[in-house]
Amino acid sequence: MKQDLTAAAEEHSLEIECIWPGQATLGECPIWDERRQCLFWIDSLEKKIWRSDVAGAGAQAYKLPDLIGSIGLCSDGRFVSGLASGFAFIDISSDPVGVEWIGNPEPEKADTRLNDGKVDRQGRFWCGTMNQDFATPNASLYRLDPDLAWHRLETGFTVSNGIAFSLDGKTLYFSDSRVDRSFQYSLDPVTGELSDCRGFVDTTAYEGRIDGATVDADGNYWGALFDGSAVGCFTADGKMMRHIKLPVTCPTMCAFGGPQMDVLFVTSARFSMNEAQIAAETLAGGLFAIRGLGVRGIPEPRFDAT
């Protein structure tokens, strides 16, 4: 029995706008670059990084040679990324886009690829793999250190998602989105080692499942509820605080940005929809901005290769 979220969904003061109706096949990984004052996001299956201003204007695409699962900001202006073929640096200032390969953590697995990823408070890039059949539990969670060595921390997942970090950098959030499992891990900020895996949000209680996520300046966790037409905000102990409905079935990831870090950007997807569903849901795959939340995010940490 799904919980009745009618009361929680009453967010009358919010402004929800589709600022880019571009119909991404699989929009993901919005990230605000406070230095360049612009938003980046990706279309995973179309092999593109997109860029726009805070209002979605001037959208520009950068074509990649490979499927892309996630990006993180680097201190030198490049991106660290999880591509289907492995970890890489991406330089959109060159034409064509520059790709410097770091390495593939799973060369022996033809059925997995890198998916959700994020830079932690200490400047390390965490990225999980996914099985491309969305069913086999052989995906893993990796940590890429600034010396470009990667380490497998956990395994046995299906689709890695929901990666985010507490404000003090001592908790890692993670979800296996295809089996409705969401976790917290204790994270040693110095060593990068994980311990004390525990349940976080029971996503079977809500419509949808946690896909991409972020935290706000108050330490609360925001997750896109894929197949749930909503974004949820959860306390650090897993209780839902807010439930914001969106005009698309498949929101994929959210991130705070804008000059005041008070806009929540949300990507969405349409790859899992049939033609009739896409025709009825014309904003599917669009990029959304939610204003008036009364909360702010914090700038994303940057990866700094040594």
Active site residues: 211
Residue 257's alpha-carbon distances to 3, 161, 214, 296, 298, in angstroms, are 30, 20, 11, 8, 8
Determine whether the annotation assigns residue 43 to a binding site.
no
* Among the listed residues 96, 97, 111, 134, the one whose alpha carbon sits nearest the alpha carbon of residue 211: 134
Determine whether the annotation assigns residue 216 to a binding site.
no
State the amino acid at position 37 in one-letter form: Q
Category of 285 on φ-ψ map: left (φ > 0), alpha (ψ -120 to 50) or beta: left
Distance between CA 48 and CA 130 in Å, rounded? 19
256 and 297 Cβ atoms separated by less than 8 Å: yes
273 and 249 Cβ atoms separated by less than 8 Å: yes
Determine whether the annotation assigns residue 274 to a binding site.
no
Determine whether the annotation assigns residue 113 to a binding site.
yes
Category of 103 on φ-ψ map: left (φ > 0), alpha (ψ -120 to 50) or beta: left
Determine whether the annotation assigns residue 242 to a binding site.
no
Determine whether the annotation assigns residue 211 to a binding site.
yes
Residues 6+ apart with CB under 8 A from 181: 175, 199, 203
Annotated binding site: 28, 113, 115, 133, 161, 211
Annotated binding site for a divalent metal cation: 28, 161, 211
Annotated binding site for substrate: 113, 115, 133
